[in-house]
Structure 1
């Protein structure tokens, strides 16, 4: 059951948004997995493969941005105890080095009000080197 059908088919508003990550088809296409989302922090993992690389054999920057966005969104949702949905308002990304192999994105909600949550995230490679960082702001919404 999708979130939309759950809302449509029940007279009550859905208040548990913890399953939204698994409903994003793009996450499945990339092979992106969420290992943790609790208390305003998150961890996502991706095993890089050839289909996700650029002309230089490194993980494409768009894939890295998706990981960072997902990590920050997961952190924001968990900060709100999965009672709200969140939509990206803006995101600023820095790429530090080429990304290959198993990548882990760590997200953290740094400050939140009633409607906006500010977050940060970084991605590490298997050696623990930071390959990219981002900050972003997210609009809380009713699911």
Structure 2
């Protein structure tokens, strides 16, 4: 998709995407699904960056408001508003390259320990976290 993580620290996350034709709809603006994905990813980054136990998260609930069409280089800034032992409550704003807000979102994320998966040999393994620090 081409998303770049600009920062992930202390309950905040910031990501960037330079729109390509495959990210647009028939009106040649960012597809709503792309915008929702960016908001979800940025809030998950924020939730994970504020967790002292460095756990994974899954999205439990998300609400988004589309305010205007988005084009160009898109930047999402997300914050963790509140964190409990098992949940993170986040908000995010998506900006176009003129600095205008195109959409806003809130999301609820549940913290999970990393789960084992099976490798090519059928053995259960816990994959290392691919997140850059």
TM range (shorter): 0.7 to 0.9
Q: What is the TM-score normalised by the length of structure 2?
A: 0.84
Kindly state the Cα deviation for residue 83 of structure 1 after the two structures are TM-superposed: 1.3
CA distance in 1, matches of 2:53, 2:77: 18
CA distance in 2, matches of 1:82, 1:102: 33
Is the 8 Å Cα contact of residues 39 and 81 (structure 1) preserved in structure 2? no
Q: Does 1:134 align with 2:105?
A: yes
- Map of 1:18 onto structure 2: none
C-alpha RMSD of matched pairs (Å): 0.8
| Shift >3 Å, 4+ stretches | none
CA distance in 2, matches of 1:41, 1:119: 9
Kindly state the Cα deviation for residue 81 of structure 1 after the two structures are TM-superposed: 3.7
CA distance in 1, matches of 2:22, 2:40: 20
The structure with more helix, counted as a fraction of residues: 1
- Map of 1:114 onto structure 2: 85
> Which runs of no fewer than 5 residues in structure 2 stay unpaired?
115-133
- Map of 1:100 onto structure 2: 71
Kindly state the Cα deviation for residue 134 of structure 1 after the two structures are TM-superposed: 0.4
Aligned equivalent of 1:65, options 36, 39, 61 = 36
Q: Does 1:75 align with 2:46?
A: yes
Q: What is the TM-score normalised by the length of structure 1?
A: 0.78
The structure with more strand, counted as a fraction of residues: 2
